[in-house]
Chain A
Amino acid sequence: MTVLGKPRQSGRGTRWWIALQVALSVGLAVVAVQLINYLVARPGIRVRFDTTAKETNSLDPAMTRVLEQLPEDENVTVDIFFRPVHPPLARLVSQVQDRTSQLLERMALVSAGRLRIRRNDMADFTAVQQRLLDLRLRGLENCVVVSKGEQREVVRLIDGLATFDPGNPNPDAYRPPAIRSFDAEINLLKGILSVTRGERPHVYFTTGHGEADPFEEGAETAGVLETALREDGFVIHTWNPAEDGDLPEDAFVVAVVGPIDPLGEATQNRLTRFLNDGGRLLVAPHADPRYLKSSGIAEWVKDWGLELTEGTVMEPFPDPSGSGALITGPRSVFFLVPPSDMNRQEILQPLLESGRSLVASRSHAIRVVRQPTVGTGLTMALFHSAKNLSWLDTVPLNYQNDAEVEPIRSYDLAAVSEFSVLDGEDVSEGTERQRSRLVVLGSADFLYSEILKTSGGGGSSLDFAKNAFNWLASREWRVNISPKDPDLRLLPAEAMPKVTRFVIWILPPVLLALGLLMAFLRSRGGPKSGTV
């Protein structure tokens, strides 16, 4: 090693002095390496590329957003309680455990230390019991526990992290067990959102005008929506203006879903005032043209530069006989809105990212006729029907396209508006209040249990409904993720002997033969070593 200082005269002293300098320089080099590694691992400097074909190593953007917005001062802890299980699910459970562990590692990385992963060794019975006691839980295994302070959420392996198909052991109809879907990401996200949610926004559904009731079960009710919103951290109430008087102070979002009777000027004024004061409003008229008129909603939404048409948007549907032809009829009111017919807006972002379609049914068309005052906001259409197929069936509905009066073109089916009403008359002098947010849907069918319960669109209708409320509550980051399927590449069983032959009986002997050839050539005067 290089001697940095003046060597001492005494032999032993000199050796110690050199040893000290060597140790110091090695120590400094190690510290320098650690420092470099620490710096390059900082968020903002670190760059990651997922090279896998299906981006299986990437977190969903929704998960990334949530992790990045976790509070820095209080850590969220994820406890892992995994142990092997007995056949027939042993191998599949092990796969899910591995994938979950990898997912959690990636989540911890993205969270920059705000998410702490704690692996509990199930063999250490005492330690596991103590940890469960700390979490105030008991008798758990094969699950993960998301906790923050006193809040905790348990995500079980089976039907939580993944759903399994147990298969069929009957030799005549044998089907091996399989992983039906890997849902760890969405359920861990729900767990994190659950333990980190702060104040729960209060949503009021108007009643008393024949609206869809959130606390009732049935096709044309909002029961499914109420359950989903409650699970997502909202507090749901109903508000009957005639009986309850003024809108309660804690109202954050008000929803008017499918009224039949007139809302009345007083109610409309109250809601308009609420919205203009920075409130959040969702309006979804009844799909029946008669009730659109009778409720007065079509006239009311004109205040915000929106026009609701009386007719119903329709699309032809494939011939059930399988001829491939498109036909028209009563079923024309049900159709899918693919991502290509959606506009880029926070509510639709998760559907766009996961490439899912939205189920539409009996909807009026919406038209944006006027934007809010310049510089104060923006009103935009959310999604539309197919431009080459759809028409607006005029009243009375006959489910057939009358080309002369019902042109084939796209029709917008929902719109959002975000604006702020100024205190002063002049834009430049006005003081901005909290921004108002408005969602107007083409019909209440988008929120009815009948539609939200259907599996069409992979549950996308429910995701859309929840996202709309989350956007209204300024919780754009509370969104849903579709389960990610593993990129499973399987080798057919009949090809296995070929692999065996190549891996065991061909490759090593070929290498051995090459080695012998080299040795032979060397013995015949081949290069023994290079020269400098």
Chain B
Amino acid sequence: MKGTWVIFRRECASLFWTPLGWLLLVAAVLLNGLLYWAQLNQTGGNVTASLSAAMGWGIVFWMVMIFLPPLLAMRLLAEESRTGTLEYLLTAPVSDAAVIVGKFLAATTFMAVLWSSVLLYGLQLQWLGSPPDWAALLCAYLGAILVSGLFVSLSLLASSLTQAPLLAAFLAIIGCTGWLLLPMLMQSALAQLRDILAQWVGGWDRAEAWIQSGIRSIDVAMHFQQSFLPGVLDSAELVFFLTWSGLFLFLTIRSLEARRWRV
């Protein structure tokens, strides 16, 4: 635990003391702010809809999710591995799990800071006399952090697989995009093949329902947009994000351990 805290502090310091971190933050906040502002104008000042757009309905949210965690994670493991500092870290008196969890928490904290800009929007609305539904907004914020955690953990796994930071970022972007678009692609494929399969497979309706349920079970956007975003705290959705993030972290730790016996 102590080791995790030390790594967390180290990584937070390195994230917030580098211009890259702030540049990414400014770019993301500006884009998201533009979306929020446009939504407010478009909906005639609908506070709930505009905050929802900034916190998860809008394209900017998902673009940030696809690009920012890979860019953050590429330097957390791959770059450290390339410069050799990772070897020092791994020989330090902290466990591999502490290293990975510390880095994961630091990157997720960075994302949490980024999404806290939406809470600032809420504060301003409160000040202007149109208070948002705070409980629902905080629930959406919690969800945004969990989604960020999931993408950070996936990006960390990609970062642990290679020593080239750009390749790590590329792999992570592919992974995040795939994870996000896979359900849509599968639905599309299913729609294309439905007629053919219905002819060949007996009881296709039941099979299709089963496949649809399988597709839905891995749909990150749906898990977030149907629970946290509208203000529903759902134990199943909480477990979904925690278990998948946990799985990727577990695989990252294994991948890091594998370096030892590979060398």
Contact = CB atoms under 8 A, between A and B. Distances in A.
Nearest to A498: B128
B36 interface: yes
Contacts of A508: 26, 29-30, 33
Nearest to B120: A507
B254 A57 contact: no
Nearest to A527: B13
B89 A532 contact: yes
Question: Which of B9, B121, B232, B235 counts the most A-chain CB atoms under 10 A from its CB?
Answer: B232
A268 B230 CA distance: 57
B30 A529 contact: no
A495 B129 contact: yes
B82 interface: no
B45 interface: yes
A56 B136 CA distance: 10
Question: Which of A106, A492, A503 counts the most B-chain CB atoms under 10 A from its CB?
Answer: A503
B48 interface: yes
A514 interface: yes
B19 interface: yes
B166 interface: no
B94 A532 contact: yes
B236 A37 contact: yes
Contacts of B184: none
Interface string B226-251: 11001111111001100110110011
Contacts of B3: 532
Contacts of B6: 530, 532
Interface residues of B, number: 79
A102 interface: yes
Contact of B22 (A95, A514, A530): A514
Interface string B31-66: 001101100111111111100000000000000000
A356 to B, nearest CB: 24
Given A37-B240, A496-B40, A489 B46 contact: yes
B92 interface: yes
Interface in B1-37: 3, 6-7, 9-14, 16-19, 21-23, 25-26, 29-30, 33-34, 36-37
Interface residues of A, number: 69
A528 B258 contact: no
B189 to A, nearest CB: 14
Interface string A9-48: 0000000000000000110011001101110110001111
Interface in A152-171: none
A478 interface: no
A511 interface: yes
Contacts of B17: 518, 521-522, 526-529
A532 B7 contact: yes
Contact of A498 (B124, B138, B246): B124
Contact of A490 (B45, B227, B240, B244): B45
A504 interface: yes
B109 interface: no
State the main secondary structure of chain B at its contact with A. helix
A37 B217 contact: yes
Contacts of B29: 507-508, 511
A113 to B, nearest CB: 8
B64 to A, nearest CB: 14
A332 B18 CA distance: 78
B130 A490 contact: yes
A493 B213 CA distance: 44
Contacts of B250: 29
A515 B19 contact: yes
Contacts of A321: none
Contacts of B10: 529-532
B81 to A, nearest CB: 15
A29 B244 CA distance: 10
A428 interface: no
B47 A490 contact: yes
A121 interface: yes
A2 interface: yes
A266 interface: no
Contact of A507 (B117, B139, B234): B117
Contacts of A495: 45, 128-130
A504 B231 contact: no
Given A50-B232, A121-B191, A514-B22, A499 B128 contact: yes
* 8 A-B pairs with least C-beta separation: A515-B22, A530-B10, A491-B45, A51-B135, A503-B33, A489-B47, A52-B231, A49-B233
7 contacts: A48-B232, A499-B40, A504-B30, A504-B37, A507-B33, A530-B11, A532-B7
Given A2-B254, A495-B129, A515-B25, 20 more contacts: A25-B254, A33-B244, A34-B217, A40-B235, A48-B233, A52-B136, A105-B226, A490-B47, A490-B130, A491-B45, A491-B125, A491-B128, A492-B129, A495-B45, A503-B37, A504-B33, A530-B10, A530-B13, A530-B14, A532-B92
